[in-house]
Every structure is written in C-alpha cells, then in structure tokens.
Amino acid sequence: MQNNTETLPGIDVLNTGYGDFELSFDPNKPDEVQKAKETITDMLKRGYAIFVKQGKETFRVRKFDADKNVYIIGSTPAEEVPIGEARATAVGRSAGG
C-alpha cells in the first residue's frame, strides 16, 4: 500500500492544546474539499495563523475565499494560492506559549 498523503494538498495543524494533526484532501472529491474549506474558515475565525509556501518563500495567509477556494496572502489576484495546489501549516493560538 502506497502512502499518498505527501502528494495531496492539505494542512498540518500544530496545536499544543489539542495536539497536532494533519488534514489532507483530494481536490477531485467535492466532499473532501468542502470539509477542508470549513476547517480553514473555522481555524482563521479561531485565530490560527496559517502559512503557505510559494516557491522558496513562506507567506502568512491573510484571508480565505471559500467561493474561489484560495488562500489570500496579499492584496492582488496574483497573491492568491489555490487550496488544491498548496500544503499549508496552521499554528493554533496556544502553540508555543
């Protein structure tokens, strides 16, 4: 059995209060994408910091557009990262402190 979780988009969640976990999803499965969208939206509301890597740089997610399925890392469309093409890291408010 081959492990495909490294190739799937998703979020690695770091949280000392609830423990670390990994959310991976298949961008071709609407129910999995919906669950990821709900999770991302909820984490941002709860104060999680979410980071995505673009090339060699890492950017903090400023907002999330659930209609377009993109992380927003800046103020222009060029600064949007599709969730189906990214692996993100989320840090809970309790992590590290």
Of 26, 66, 17, which is closest to residue 44 (Cα–Cα)? 66
Q: From the centroid of its chain, how far is CA 8?
A: 12
The span from the CA of 9 to the CA of 37, in Å, is 12
**pTM of the predicted protein model:** 0.81
pLDDT at residue 2, as a whole number: 47
Question: Pairing mode, if any, of strands 57-60 and 49-54?
Answer: antiparallel
Contact 31, 39 (CB under 8 A): no
The span from the CA of 43 to the CA of 47, in Å, is 6
pLDDT along the chain (97 residues), means of 10: 61 79 91 94 93 90 95 91 92 66
Kindly report the length of the chain: 97
pLDDT at residue 67, as a whole number: 95
Amino acid at residue number 17: G
pLDDT at residue 1, as a whole number: 40
